Structure 1
Amino acid sequence: MSSRPTTSVSSLATLDQILAHQSYLLALDPSPSPLHQEDIPTQLDQDLFEALAGNPPQDQYRPHLARWYRQLQTFSGEERRNFPAVPNVTLDRLVDIFNKMALIVRNLQEYLGEDRIDEVLKTRDLKIYWGTATTGKPHIAYFVPMSKLADFLNAGCEVTILFADLHAYLDNMKAPWELLKLRTEYYEHAIKGMLESIGVPLEKLKFVRGTEYQLSKEYTLDVYRLASLVTEHDARKAGAEVVKQVQHPLLSGLLYPGLQALDEHYLGCDAQFGGVDQRKIFTYAEKYLPALGFAKRAHIMNPMVPGLTGAKMSSSEEDSKIDLLDTPAAVKKKLKKAFCEPGNVTDNGILSFCKYVIFPVLLNGRDFVIERKPENGGNSNFSQYEELHEAFAAEQVHPADLKGAVENYLNQLLAPIRKKFDTPDLKALTEKAYPPPAKVKPGKGAATAGGTDDIVPSRLEIKIGKIVEVSKHPDAEALYIEKIDLGEAVPRTIVSGLVNFVPLEEMQDRLVVVLCNLKPAKLKGIESRGMVLCASRDEPKEVEPLAAPVGSEPGDKVFVEGYEDTQPDEQLNPKKKVWEKLAVDLKTSSDGKAQWQSNNLMTSKGGIVSMKVMGAPIK
């Protein structure tokens, strides 16, 4: 029998929480039959029962503990003394495990392998690794995984941070080899700066670069072993949310998920931590690592925080993110433009940041304060995120007031990082790791084309437009003449063959997606200076203009993911058939997403879609 446990108020509160989900302190099932699933009391229950003798728990304070105590009273003293022993687990250890588990899993989207985590915690602290590919500059959404790393460390976990430089190259060569070393160095300084900003002691962390072990003979051999087991279908599916998707993927992108799985073994972790967008890679690892004779690991996933525009925060979309080195003026400007609809608590990146970073990490028990002048209602204090959430949903907090408070807290977080990078050495590193993009003359195509005539979608100038005036063509029954505001000095005149598909009243004030750099052409005597893009199917005949994301405005730029960093041609040369060649791969997916070679058409507000015509060409 173990020594008499302490029964402090905090320990009893934890034990009450444990018993809210099970009959006895340790869910131990003695039966090998899956038809018989019933936990039984152990010596841990007997130890606690004796400790509470003469001072039984009360229903109004500890209802689950009181129910458990009454249940233990139904056993005789001899029966309780013969409860099975539990090696290596004491009551104090059980309370410690529960509290650690609560820290590990709080604010997560999902976790797989809870039983494996429990088994490890019974004997030692958990070993966790988090990896980040060293591609685009880290932004404020990185504070979400940083906040969880803080939780893991507070739970006593051994944490390894992997700077995945090799992965960065494999993902469609997002970072060329010559920049990998510089960007990895930049990431190391940035990540350390973020952790210091939220008070995480760096001495408890281990930092590893992927190429320190991923180029070894043993690792390479395991890559080949894994490649002999994995199908192309499974490899492509695993990377679908992480690796850039194209119609004809490079082998590097198919290797990517396998390397991430092997990292679990080579870093000696019990669990891998990442965003929920990596779930398919995690389940891939759970399937294939045991096939190589390696242990199956647990997987812990944080939610993806919406960007400032409502979609996922992305390094490649400038308007969707706040950079770690943005000035206070830039933070104010971006927050002012951020999507924050009154009462909308679903697609709200500002609120999400409050939930996952500001409340649990920056404030850590202190009140969230919205400062207002007395004539505007005075200051509002919120001790819990749920209070702020409910107040915003009820429109008791105005978006401008929320943005003002978040601006203040963001600058508190970013100030130490700005100071860290305000040195000649780190300024030089930033310039070398992320040099400004080469200037491309209009009409010369993408920078990747080196000024040649490569057929890439970045050569198309596509914008969101609003139809401000529409009428039927006087000489052609099937044509509309539209005046479309594209954010330019005057609206453009565009002729579209949509009379038989969209009623006139539905065209007026409609937001549409317009190809703007076609050579102007006369249609039945009217010069048309662009084309309204539509999903179009011949059998059965269906045509529908593509739909812009919520919150779009005239002039918003449309880009194809992976091709957003270069300037379009000033005007497409009809003799080169650029549009005709690109249009072959422009289609709507089975769920209505507008895509080029499986890459989504996007704006800073979100994706372009077709509401009705799925799986059809875009013309």
Structure 2
Amino acid sequence: MAEENSTCNSLSMEEKVKLITRNLQEVLGDDRMKAVMKERDLRIYWGTATTGKPHLAYFVPMSKIADFLKAGCEVTILLADLHAYLDNMKAPWDLLALRTEYYERAIKAMLKSIGVPLEKLKFIKGTDYQLSKEFTLDVYRLTSMVTEHDAKKAGAEVVKQVEHPLLSGLLYPGLQALDEEYLKCDTQFGGIDQRKIFTFAEKYLPQLGYKKRSHLMNPMVPGLTGGKMSSSEEDSKIDLLDSAASVKKKLKKAFCEPGNTADNGVLSFCKHVIFPLLGAEKFTIERAEENGGNVDYAEFAALETAFAAQEIHPGDLKATVERHLNRLLDPIRREFEAPELKTLAQRAYPPPSKKAAVTETEGPHRLDMRVGRVVSVARHPDAESLYVEKIDLGEPEPRTIVSGLVEHISAEELTGRLVVVLCNLKPAKMRGVESRGMVLCASVDEPRAVQPLDPPAAAQPGDRVLVEGYETGQPDEQLNPKKKVWEKLAVDLKTSSTRVAEWQANPLMTKDGAVTCRSLAGAPIR
């Protein structure tokens, strides 16, 4: 410890700044940061909402925390339990304390795995101060200044976005801004996806009489499938407790196209975690002599250039990364073999019951079904069997929706009619015309008949259509076609013997009553 402190003290301010900012995507307020560093060590805080299990991508901020400590910074890690609940209730209230404890144990295990001394860190829970009288009054003061537009904009990249957001999600950015003052930090560190919250803090904290802080932002590291590494997308991430066999399997499937350095989660992990932690060690790709033999890389830029030039095969890169990953994960796996930690993991993330699994993951609440009124109907210019409809869904402009109803209902009968529209399908080109939704219909094959569903006569365009018993939860902003959410749920959609539209025998309801079908009973709904 004394040796490390001596190293920190021997660094020039320029060397400290280089350590603090390396591999970052953006720094806001570096002049304010440097001004503080001329007087004393920088105080930095990093926060994480205690939602899904921490995964491999958490090593990215961990490696930066190692940099901050090497530069002599005082670092606080905020376990943002209240934020986890406010973000669309991603962590149920009754599991908050357990998940927060799991996060703290997992993060400490990660830091120990990369050699970070824990005694130089401060851990704090959000609820330790965010429920205080002073913090609560500041929240109220902030709500008197912030518009709904600014709150929604600030959380756009962090808080789950839905058409009708819960008030809790609008409070989220304000609480994160106030954290800077109540944690007495000089700088907040986070991902580039938090940039709008950081600029929100820079705007509003001075209006409360508090100082403006600087902000450090990591780039978003791609997951193994090429997009963001996410707790909710199993194939995109490697869990901290995944076995060596599971790591091998997931890396084998990871996106790592020859010569492609964009959206390459394998390469990104090398840049942001493996190389910063190598020290004097080199990144050695082991391969047979007939394939060029072993090759060493001391700098990530050289590895990236070689991969772009296709001098390194993706399989050889993955094999090397696999060795480094298991070296990082082995100490964590061993620590979590302790009975108390196994019990903690099971209690914090209990396996869902069959009903809960449907409700939370594949439930019908994920479908954005709304009442629409057909404003106009025209024949598709290049397809005789298709209509191009303009449908009022309570939005500023009617949506264009293409449907195959020509043989089943006249344009005159369809115009002005109330229908049910599935609104969050991915837009699709139908013979050159983009369709932004689907009119839900009951249909039978023998004899062939198709009928649009009928909302109650009192319903209005834009009214939500919900499945009774599944009213909680928010629809996906857009259904992921790769996950086939609609296809899985549609299997259980049909009309009852009394022609009521149902999902698993639960009626589809608006605030004015049930959705029905004019004459087709026991018919699938598509």
Residue from 78, 86, 92 that aligns with 1:176: 92
Aligned counterpart, 2:122: 206
> Do the aligned partners of 2:49 and 2:83 also contact (CA within 8 Å) in 1?
yes
Alignment of 1:257-272 (within 5 A): 257-272=173-188
In the other structure, the counterpart of 1:398 is 313
Name the structure 2 match of 1:364.
279
- The equivalences for 1:79-478 within 5 A come to 96-361=12-277, 363-440=278-355, 446-447=359-360, 456-457=365-366, 477-478=384-385
- Percentage of matched positions with identical amino acids: 63
For the residue of structure 1 that corresponds to 2:445, the secondary structure is strand
Equivalent residue pairs, number: 420
Instruction: Find the aligned partners of 1:441 and 1:189 in 2 and give their Cα distance.
Output: 27
**AA of the residue aligned to 1:568:** L
- Of residues 492, 496, 506, the one that matches 1:571 is 492
Q: Match of 1:313, as an amino acid?
A: M
Deviation at 1:570, TM superposition (A): 3.5
Report if the CA contact (8 A) 1:446-1:567 is conserved.
no
Structure 1 residue 372: deviation in Å? 1.1
SS, match of residue 332 in structure 1: helix
TM-fit CA distance, 1:381: 1.4
Q: Which residue of the partner structure matches residue 61 of structure 1?
A: none
1:403–1:576 Cα change, 3 Å: farther
How many Å separate the matches in 1 of 2:321 and 2:184?
39
Tell me the secondary structure at the aligned position of residue 45 of structure 2.
strand
Q: Deviations over 1:71-108 (max 9, x none)?
A: xxxxxxxxxxxxxxxxxxxxx99971111111111000
**Cα deviation 1:563-613 (Å, max 9, x = unaligned):** xxx973642123444699799xxxxxxxxxxxxxxxxxxxxxxxxxxxxxx
CA distance in 2, matches of 1:582, 1:346: 45
1-structure distance, mates of 2:264, 2:66? 24
Structure ranking higher on relative contact order (CA contacts 8 Å, 6+ apart): 2
Query: Is contact 1:519–1:572 with CA below 8 Å preserved after alignment?
Result: no
> Which digits, 9 at most, give the CA deviation of each residue in 1:538-562, with x for residues without a partner?
xxxxxxxxxx99xx9xx942349xx
TM-score by length of 1: 0.62
* Distance of 1:520 and 1:139 partners within structure 2: 45
Give the secondary-structure state (helix, strand or coil) at the position aligned to 2:188. Answer: strand
Structure-2-length-normalised TM-score: 0.73
2:79·2:123 contact (CA, 8 Å) conserved in 1? yes
* Structural RMSD (CA): 3.6
Quote the Cα distance in structure 2 between the aligned partners of 1:261 and 1:237: 14
| Matching residue of 2:470 | none
Shift of 1:225: 0.8
Aligned partners of 1:518 and 1:335: how far apart in 2?
Answer: 42
- Unaligned stretches of 5+ residues in structure 2: 1-7, 370-382, 387-402, 407-428, 451-477, 511-525
Mapped to 2, the partners of 1:572 and 1:141 lie a distance apart of 38
Q: Distance in 2 between matches of 1:193 and 1:417?
A: 6
Contact 1:459 1:568 in 2 (8 A): no
Letter in 2 for 1:558: K
Letter in 2 for 1:522: D
Task: Tell me: CA distance 1:376–1:283, structure 2 relative to 1, closer, same or farther (3 Å).
Answer: same
Which residue of structure 2 lines up, in the alignment, with residue 557 of structure 1? Answer: 483
Unaligned runs of 5+ in 1: 1-91, 461-475, 480-494, 507-511, 528-547, 561-565, 584-618
Structure 2 equivalent of residue 522 of structure 1:
445
Shift of the 523–374 alpha-carbon distance from structure 1 to 2, 3 Å rule, reads farther
Contact kept? 1:194, 1:417, Cα under 8 Å: yes
- Distance (Å, rounded) in 1 between the aligned partners of 2:11 and 2:268: 31
In 1, the alpha carbon distance for the partners of 2:488 and 2:367 equals 7
Q: Give deviations 1:466-511, integer Å, cap 9, x for gaps.
A: xxxxxxxxxx9537xxxxxxxxxxxxxxx9689xx766xx9xxxxx
**Could you list the per-position Cα deviations for residues 201-242 of structure 1 after superposition, in whole angstroms to 9, with x for gaps in the alignment?**
001100001111111111111111111111111111000000
SS at the partner of 2:40? coil
Contact 2:11 2:71 in 1 (8 A): no
- 2:88 is matched by which residue type in structure 1? N
Deviation of 1:395 (Å): 1.1
Contact 1:455 1:578 in 2 (8 A): no
> Structure 1 residues 348, 520: closer, same or farther in 2, change over 3 A?
farther
Tell me which amino acid in the other structure corresponds to 2:359: A
Per the TM alignment, residue 459 of structure 1 is displaced from its structure 2 partner at its CA by 10
In the alignment, the residues of structure 2 paired with residue 188 and residue 323 of structure 1 have an alpha-carbon distance, to the nearest angstrom, of 16
CA deviation after TM superposition for structure 1 residue 377, in Å = 2.2
Alignment partner of 1:456: what SS?
Answer: helix
